Amino acid sequence: MKIVIVGGVAGGASAATRLRRLNEQMNIVLFEKGEYISFANCGLPYYVGEIIREKEQLVVQTPEAMKLRFNIDVRVSSEVIAINAEEKELEIHDLKNGTRYKESYDTLILSPGATPIKPPIPGLNGDNVFTLRNIPDTYAIKDFIDHRKPKRAIVVGGGFIGIELAENLIERGIKVTLVELGNQVMGPLDFEMAALVHQYLKEKGMEIYLEDGVTSIRHEKHYSIVSLNDKTELKADMILLGLGVTPDTTLAQTANLVIGKRGGIQVDKSLRTSNADIYAVGDAIEVIDFVNGKPTLMPLAGPANKQGRIAANSICGIKDEYRGTQGTSVLKIFDLTVSSTGNNEKTLKTLNIHYEKSYTHSLSHAGYYRGATPISLKILFSPTDGTILGAQAIGYTGVEKRIDVIATAIRAQMTVYDLETLELSYAPPYSSAKDPVNMAGYVASNILKREHEIIHWHEISNLDKTTALLIDVRTPQEFSLGTIQGALNIPLDELRDRMQKIPKNKEIILFCQVGQRGYVAYRILIQNGYTNVKNVSGGYKTYLAAVQEQSNRDVFRYEELHNE
């Protein structure tokens, strides 16, 4: 039996090695258009930033090593340009010598990946304009920085690759301007969580233009001018595009494979395409969203690796199914960690899925042990049975650990009530007796059990101030540093003594810094005859992050940078 795989890296390489482990007699051929069959694509930005210093560290597997250990016929610099599905034959372009030839197969696995989005913007072909998708792209960016010594770079796009590139450029001493068409960076996050990232990026010296896009790039002798939608013109030494990727379905279309509504190759649970002899894995395919059951695109390395293994199992007669992707991800931004899993509010609203949400800002470990830092954790859950639909977390330590726990809970279709009961490891340097995941479960469960009525940050502006009273239960010192406009300061520890000043005929809106003291105040008032009381979920911290100015335009002056 002859298996031909098109494309290496995560999906194709994992399929090839799994096939060999299952069948020593199989004839396995792997074609890769580039020079590298398996490389650390998630590590590429860190080579630019010189966190990874040796080129060899980027290469996970070489053709020679794969041949020696797995007896796989690897052909790099070989582009598969067409599939004749009826004849079960491929047309190959040998890029090194310019020749073309045909190759037969019994079963075909497609792993072509995705291609960077490059909109039709005039000026994108300049020698100082880059995208980052593979090792040659990485070398080109680093060589430009090493030899041209740019002082200002513009990164277009605030997704994973854009943020990682921006961070690593700053690590190289380059002033970075980030331009994002949407109103936030990091699409998997909801706005108020992304707002925490915006403030941190500004603290790190990044200039941010939100809700603006690039219309053209004009190249002058010593610099380029980037024009934005609002007619702003920004000068830069280099421009990097991080606008995301789109499934590479060019080859699939030559075989008349069915392409799904989201633009990816349509596959079944065993990763078989509409042609029984062709499988597809990785960034090029549509997968089922594990949470909502709808087709989606999820270009992540972890799922691609698993898909390669499942396709190999299916080919070898081992019953295996891909149960869907929930989009669990993590991103390092300097010292900050941003992580998420499952669906966000934008997705749930689009699909008309009812949900509730809660926020907690628990410490990463016991507060009395040095180094504890807050983890801002948002969870989304069903308002009827508490099934967990998604989670997002931002902090400095232990963030990904908590999201991984919740990702596991989503996979097991657990509820917020289950989060309360999880027995998680505890020692003062690592957690608290009530772990942040437990705390998120307690808060969400109280909401569902109507033991805690809440109001969210975006609902504050709609309050009727004639019938509602805002009470800030923080200390006078905290209150003096900033509060919600119109709020009355009654510290929690004075609440019982000053309760007579709080009218019972008004809606009482309580808040503190993160929500916990507001909850205690809520319980006090409810048990003293107050019936119309709510606590601001996530407290003043969540509210302030979302309502303050997100951009910080006009921070850098190109001429000033070059006169330093």
Model confidence pLDDT, tens digit, residues 500-531 = 999 999 999 999 999 999 999 999 999 999 99
| Cβ(197)–Cβ(332) below 8 Å | no
Q: What are φ and ψ of residue 260, in 5° steps? A: -75, 175
Averaged pLDDT score across all residues of the chain: 95
What is the maximum alpha-carbon separation in the chain? 89
* Cβ–Cβ < 8 Å for 529, 503: no
- Lowest mean per-residue pLDDT among 35-39, 277-281, 301-305: 35-39
On the question of pLDDT at 85 being above 90, the answer is yes
- Predicted confidence at residue 558, as pLDDT, reads 83
> For residue 249, which phi and psi values (nearest 5 degrees)?
-110, 10
Q: Is pTM beyond 0.85 here?
A: yes
pLDDT of residue 560: 85
What CA–CA distance (Å, rounded) separates 432 from 496?
30
Nearest to 420 by CA among 389, 395, 448: 448
Work out the average pLDDT over 127-149. Answer: 93
One of 42, 124, 424, 502 is an active-site residue; which one? 42
Per-residue model confidence as pLDDT tens digits over 290-315: 999 999 999 998 999 999 999 999 99
Q: What is the pLDDT of residues 339-377, one digit of tens each?
A: 999 999 999 999 999 999 999 999 999 999 999 999 999
pLDDT exceeds 90 at position 480: yes
Residue 2 in this model has a pLDDT that exceeds 90: yes
pLDDT of residue 477 exceeding 90? yes
List the one residue out of 476, 470, 460 whose CA is nearest residue 518: 470
Strands, sheet with 214-219, edge to edge from the N-terminal-most edge strand: 214-219, 224-228, 233-236
Q: Where are the alpha helices (DSSP H) in 23-107?
A: 44-48, 63-70
Q: What is the DSSP string of 394-454?
A: EESSSHHHHHHHHHHHHHTT-BHHHHHH------TTT--SS-HHHHHHHHHHHHHTTSS-E
How many angstroms separate the Cα of 312 from the Cα of each of 39, 96, 210, 251, 259? 20, 30, 44, 20, 22
Catalytic annotation on 42?
yes
Is the confidence at residue 546, as pLDDT, over 80? yes
CA distances from 241 to 153, 416, 419 (A): 11, 39, 40
